[in-house]
Structure 1
Amino acid sequence: MGIIGLGEGLRFVRQKTPAVIKAHEKKLCKQLCEQLSDIDKIKFYEADQKKVPILSFNIGDIPSAEIASYLSEKGFALRGGLQCAAVTHTTLGTIEQGTVRFSPSAFSTPQQVTALSRTIKIFAANN
Structure 2
Amino acid sequence: MTGILLELAQVLLVAFLAPLFAGLLRALRAILQNRRPAGCWQNYRDLYRLFHKESLQAEGTSWLFRFAPYGIFGAFCLAAAIIPILATGLPLAPAADVIALVGLFALARVFQVLAAMDTGTPFATLGA
TM-score by length of 1: 0.28
TM-score of the superposition, structure 2-length normalised?
A: 0.28
Q: Answer 1 or 2: which has greater helix percent.
A: 2
